[in-house]
Structure 1
């Protein structure tokens, strides 16, 4: 029974605290700590994400206003902004990265049977990166341009459930394609990428690992047609070819044949050229796979709108990475809660409910009972008519 427990406490019960304790011990997170243990630090950072707090003073003030409920929420004493700032600056960000990956593994098991719109048994990943702009004078460790700093969030998104399977944080100057060097490719999985990842030596390494890729060809690519497959042009497929790369060095980078599919979008009229190493799937399925890559763009848009990763409460590299990893952990945690409790509502609806009721003492399932109605109301237009005849 959860009677007497706040909603925040019930959400935190989905964290595997025993495994988290081993992570903290691995990095010495609680070594010589007098107050604000790692468990309390994460609770404070998760509270900031769930309630849209944007500064240390916001966190301190809101928690202090509900001081009588802090102990039941897992805080042994009021959270001071200076103590939280020191913890974010000093404690290894890899603690929160490992926690996020622990939650990600759990979430992916829960969502592994979900559909993403394409009848395919293989795991499908969308790979991309987004830039988070920073002030150069405050974040000199993250150079991007002459007058701007930034960090890049490289994400490999599992399209079944939109769970990030891999996240890497770098400075703004790091090119997206470099993340292929640190990815462990999964045999049989599909990796859908845009043209920024078109590096044939790296793609051949992916191919040799037994994985498949779907990307777009760059204009002026030097290649020759080996053979053509019959196609139905009424479906939008213009051609389905096997090609070999020309040129001495590029042919060494990818010495085997590639599949090139030219597709004309019947809606926009735009012609797209796809490259893949898969020779079995129908050409229309390859085009649909690339279209599904848009899910990672929507994921970036969503987290920037609903998580606190655009304004940071610390300026050091460790503090920024701590905040981003805590945001990722919170996102995955809510996804786990949604699946475990079998709630038929969007993550947006759940976050909105939690943002105004984390201190309420009611059962989670009861608190989320109105999320379905909220989802239905969101779909209605709320703009009044300017002229009513």
Structure 2
């Protein structure tokens, strides 16, 4: 209960946890707890309690939240896209740690860090995959370990750019949307007709020279879109050939939900 209070209340010390619980002793008694624990008791419990307990609590809570999300699915409320594919977002966040305290979390000379790799399911905005690695671990190495079901659409940052991985996902029937890197070396094989939709500049079919030189035939979509708010020209890359160009842009924009989820 103390650690749940810590998480929900964003407490940052044992003193803050115990003080907050002490101010709510009436509610604690309703939960079957006689009083708020002293700091020494909480410190001892944190040191000796097995981590598996917190894992069990997390998965029980996640299962309950997923059940609620599934029960609300298909009601139309909050549904932003017409397609029925499961939409996911993939991201990695560096979490800074004190190098003198966490001497195992090597990152920079004077800074320690770990990296949280997260896959967010947009049905309920709940995590479907999460792993913590060393801060220097590259995102793509972890991404390659994730198994996606055919038909899923995955939005991710350009930091995950790996042409071989893009081909593998395409062959597995997994769709993805990202931003095209400025230094990408490609050729245009088709200019698609644009609908009368504000903001769309180009919808092209392209291939990458790196793959062609390796004897791999795989084509992708390059979409130029002007953001109405900033006026910035954004270039998207995807392997989905039937989604409307505006929908591809909207899928990438929806990826912002994982930024909100994983960052304090």
**Scaled by the length of structure 1, what TM-score is found?**
0.59
Whole-angstrom distance in 1 between the partners of 2:151 and 2:87: 9
* Matched residue SS, 1:100: helix
Separation (CA, whole Å) in 1 of partners of 2:260 and 2:56: 25
Aligned residues: 259
Q: Does 1:140 align with 2:103?
A: yes
- Per the alignment, residue 290 of structure 1 pairs with 252
TM-score, normalised by the number of residues in structure 2:
0.84
Q: Which residue of 2 aligns with 1:278?
A: 240
Q: Over residues 52-86 of structure 1, what are the superposed CA-to-partner deviations in whole Å (9 max), with x where a residue is unaligned?
A: 43212333344456667655424477634344334
Shift of residue 242, structure 1, vs aligned partner: 1.7
**SS at 1:122 equivalent:** coil
In structure 2, what is the equivalent of residue 158 of structure 1? 121
Unaligned runs of 5+ in 2: none
Contact (CA 8 Å) 1:263, 1:271: kept in 2 or not? yes
CA RMSD of aligned residues (A): 2.7
- Report if the CA contact (8 A) 2:211-2:217 is conserved: no
Instruction: State how far apart, in whole Å, the 2-side matches of 1:246 and 1:143 are.
Output: 37
After superposition, the Cα gap between the structure-2 partners of 1:236 and 1:213, relative to the gap in structure 1 and judged at 3 Å, is same
Residues 249-285 of structure 1, C-alpha deviation per residue, up to 9 Å, x if partnerless?
8746x64211221222243222221111111111110
**Does the CA contact (< 8 Å) of 1:230 and 1:240 recur in 2?**
yes
Task: Say whether 1:56 aligns with 2:32.
Answer: no
The superposition leaves residues 97-151 of structure 1 with CA deviations (integer Å, 9 ceiling, x where unpaired) of: 3532343233223223153422232211111122222211011121221111122
- Residues 69/279 of structure 1: CA separation in 2 closer, same or farther (3 Å cut): closer
Classify 1:68/1:124 alpha carbon distance in 2 versus 1 (closer, same or farther; 3 Å): closer
In structure 2, distance between residues paired with 1:101 and 1:201: 34
1:172–1:221 Cα change, 3 Å: same
* CA shift digits 1:355-379 (9 cap, x unpaired): xxxxxxxxxxxxxxxxxxxxxxxxx
Which residue of structure 2 lines up, in the alignment, with residue 105 of structure 1? Answer: 63
Asked if structure 2 preserves the Cα contact closer than 8 Å seen for 1:115 and 1:160, the reply is: no
Question: Between Structure 1 and Structure 2, which shows a larger proportion of helix residues?
Answer: 1
Question: Which of structures 1 and 2 has the larger relative contact order (alpha carbons within 8 angstroms, sep 6+)?
Answer: 1
More deviation, 48-57/69-78: 69-78
Q: Aligned partners of 2:68 and 2:27: how far apart in 1? A: 32
Contact 1:180 1:202 in 2 (8 A): no
| 2:193 equivalent in structure 1 | 230
Secondary structure (helix, strand or coil) at the match of 2:234 reads: strand
Structure 1 residue 296 displacement after superposition: 1.4
Cα distance between partner residues in 1 of 2:54 and 2:169: 29
Gap regions ≥5 residues in structure 1: 1-42, 305-389
Between the aligned partners of 2:34 and 2:19, the Cα distance in structure 1 is 16
Residue 142 of structure 2 is matched in structure 1 by 179
The yes-or-no answer on 1:96 pairing with 2:96 is no
